[in-house]
Structure 1
Amino acid sequence: MLVVTLLAPLAAIPDQAAAATQIEVKETVSFRDKPSTSSEVIRYLKSGEQLVVLSEPNSYWYEVLADDGTSGYVSSSSQYITAAVADEDARAVASASANASSNASASASASSKKGEIVASVAFRTSPSTGASRIRYLSRGETVTVLSQPNSYWYQVRDSRGTTGYVSSQSQYIRVSGGTVAPPTSGSSQSSKVEKVINVGMSFLGTPYQYGSNRNSTRYFDCSAFVRRAFQNALNVTLPADSRGQGNYVKNKGNAKSNWRQLQRGDLMFFMSYRGTSASSYSGVNKSKATITHVGIYLGDGKVLHTYSKESGGVRTDSIVGKHWEHRFLFGGSAL
């Protein structure tokens, strides 16, 4: 079936402000690799997602950067996104952070490397995609690289004196001169977790199929998705089904029945759906309930998982106050 969408453009965004401009998705919309309705769909952007506008190739499309670091194109129609606004909150956080770090940034080490931002990228408070975002660094900005806590992040200081963390991927930053402190052994667990999550996030939008082929990445059910994330990231092969994965975590002695005690990257296990309210699950002996679903905890009450064709495949969800919170059985690290 061919669907043709007539797109109504928003007001043009000045080129000089594009890299510092944010928009919000109002309604599920295609995220494409080119500014054309016939181009490949990277994934579907969900309501509430925040995007950074990189450019406006024409009056119908924005080139944007998603919060997972993926760049692509989205319709500029007001049906799908809000009017563009400057990220004042991010500027305020950056200003406060700059004041707090002024003493530490008074002098730069002669051996520090310089980094040039080659594509707009999130500048975060800690080396994690779940960490608070200070602001977005714009293409062309120069930063001082202070250290490399793991293989995926640099600790940097921007021109305002703010210290934070940025992806070490060459598509975002070009580093030259000096030396960078190598990753420490103490950060190895954190780097493993981030690698699993980065792989998992790369599958956002992959369609759901119950009982999917464990050797394919065209479709996933919940346990196949989790298994593939660990396989591709760390060459760790988990059991093929959610109950087996639950036993795997329990056997490591890491199981926690309170989801608020979980760490980023832990697996979360759930029972069958009974309803949206907490009362629907009252009287259930969760220590004996059967596991029917698994996902990867992202922190901040969010889970990365897949559970139905209708939901759009691999996605992230907030569990707080939702049926996911009521269905939660236990969770823990698989590492």
Structure 2
Amino acid sequence: MKKPFTAILLATTVTLGLGALPAKPAQAATDAVIVSSVNFRSQPDVNSKSYGFLKKGENVDILSKVNNWWYKVRDDSGRIGYVSTNSKYIRTTDSSSGGSSSKPSSTSTSNGSSSTSSTVNKVIAAGKKYLGTPYEFGSSRSNTRTFDCSDFVRQAFKEGAGITLPSDSRGQASYVKSKGGTTTNWRNLKPGDLMFFMEYRGTSASSYPSNKANQRVTHVGIYLGDGKILHTYSKESGGVRIDSFAGKHWEHRFIFGGSAL
């Protein structure tokens, strides 16, 4: 009779022991704060519906990092959407100290800079792959047989950075402006920045207004550095090409430029 009793006692002990094991906790969301006003979108895509802007100082939970460009987040009201991973818009907080870090660590800054530089190189490489591709105004956005200026830029960023920019140059200009950090002096641009131009009015600087703030954007290209631009603008020019623009009508037509990353 002792043997069955011992077996029952052992089984009970094992069962109670297993029940006492703590459940594995779910992975916690990362606390973050909005550093600068940023679009809160329904999908990780610049063309997706926007819920509006998350304002500076708002707290959000980062639920996941979708890719190098988008976080999936939850705002204070419980809405779930997507925001840029760019550190000028969002910063994770230091939960161990109970407060937010005033600036990214040197490691984060280095990695962020390295990542951006790598992405810029990929965008430029993707664009150069299409050198000589014929120009077509209003080209189809569903193939790469021909490009107009904004279609070309859109394709380079789609392939090189995984970003789907607006389909036209004015939409791309608005997107770059929304990110901040634009300049009207092309010498302040960095490789990979987008350049926006007004319509052609001649080769002389006097043909263009000194204040171009309200001029309509008609052309876009990718700055390569050293006064060179990667773009496409006419059938006669041979399609996608690289031009030096300092002292030429391109310089006189330049309105502003800035990063789309």
| Inter-partner Cα distance in structure 2 for 1:334 and 1:208 | 23
Task: Give the match for residue 260 of structure 1.
Answer: 187
2:243 pairs with 1:320? no
TM-aligned CA deviation for residue 285 of structure 1: 3.4
Provide the alpha-carbon RMSD of the alignment.
Answer: 1.3
1:223 aligned to which of 150, 167, 186:
150
| Inter-partner Cα distance in structure 1 for 2:145 and 2:160 | 17
| Inter-partner Cα distance in structure 1 for 2:185 and 2:116 | 22
Instruction: Indicate how the Cα distance of structure 1 residues 279 and 191 shifts in structure 2: closer, same or farther if over 3 A, else same.
Output: same
Task: Give the match for residue 329 of structure 1.
Answer: 255
* 1:82-130 deviation digits (Å, cap 9, x = unpaired): xxxxxxxxxxxxxxxxxxxxxxxxxxxxxxxxxxxxxxxxxxxxxxxxx
Task: Give the match for residue 271 of structure 1.
Answer: 198
Task: Give the match for residue 287 of structure 1.
Answer: 213
| Inter-partner Cα distance in structure 1 for 2:257 and 2:112 | 25
The residue type paired with residue 258 of structure 2 is G
The structure with the larger Rg is 2
The residue type paired with residue 331 of structure 1 is G
TM-aligned CA deviation for residue 254 of structure 1: 1.9
The residue type paired with residue 198 of structure 1 is A
Structure 1 stretches of 4+ moved >3 Å? 183-186
1:64-213 maps to which residues of 2 (within 5 A)?
A: 184-213=111-140
Q: Give the structure with the larger strand fraction.
A: 1
Task: Give the match for residue 95 of structure 2.
Answer: none
Task: Give the match for residue 159 of structure 1.
Answer: none
Unaligned runs of 5+ in 1: 1-182
Task: Give the match for residue 72 of structure 1.
Answer: none
- Higher RCO, 1 vs 2 (CA within 8 Å, ≥6 residues apart): 2
* 1:160-182 deviation digits (Å, cap 9, x = unpaired): xxxxxxxxxxxxxxxxxxxxxxx
TM-aligned CA deviation for residue 205 of structure 1: 0.1
| Inter-partner Cα distance in structure 2 for 1:191 and 1:236 | 14
1:304 aligned to which of 230, 234, 238:
230
| Inter-partner Cα distance in structure 1 for 2:129 and 2:232 | 13
2:175 pairs with 1:248? yes
Q: Secondary structure at the match of 2:132?
A: coil
The two structures have a TM-score, normalised by structure 1, of 0.44
Unaligned runs of 5+ in 2: 1-109
TM-aligned CA deviation for residue 185 of structure 1: 4.9
Q: Give the structure with the larger helix fraction.
A: 2
Q: Secondary structure at the match of 1:246?
A: helix
